[in-house]
Amino acid sequence: MTTLEITIPDELARDAQQAGLLSSESIAAMLGQQLKATRVDALFAAMDRMAAVDEPAIMSPEEVAEELALLRAQRRTGSVG
């Protein structure tokens, strides 16, 4: 377990204490929720960046299939490790 010390305004601390938000369980739950939201935001930001790319794929699906077929054939013959 990790112990944290934070500094917040007195009024906020009183209000949070009265609302039951300063317990270890409550703070852990809030941090977990915020981390999840941050990860979701990062995922959507990455998806937006990917959607903004206008360049064509480096390899077409047909080229990928050909490469896979070649690799599988090489594995069957033992020429690829």
Task: For residue range 22-53, list pLDDT tens digits in order.
Answer: 999 999 999 999 999 999 999 999 999 988 98
Does residue 3 lie in a domain region? no
- Position 4 in a domain: no
How much is the average pLDDT of 47-64? 85
Q: Give the integer Cα–Cα distance in Å for 80 and 31.
A: 48
Parent domain of 67 = 10-77
- Our count of domains for the chain comes to 1
Q: What is the mean pLDDT of residues 45-72?
A: 88
Residue 77 binned pLDDT confidence (cut-offs 50, 70, 90): confident
Assigned domain for 37 exists: yes
Q: Global pTM?
A: 0.59
Whether residue 17 lies inside any domain: the answer is yes
- Asked, for residue 2, whether it belongs to a domain, the answer is no
DSSP 59: S
Q: Is residue 5 part of a domain?
A: no
pLDDT of residue 79: 72
Contacts for 20 with CB less than 8 Å, ≥ 6 apart? 26
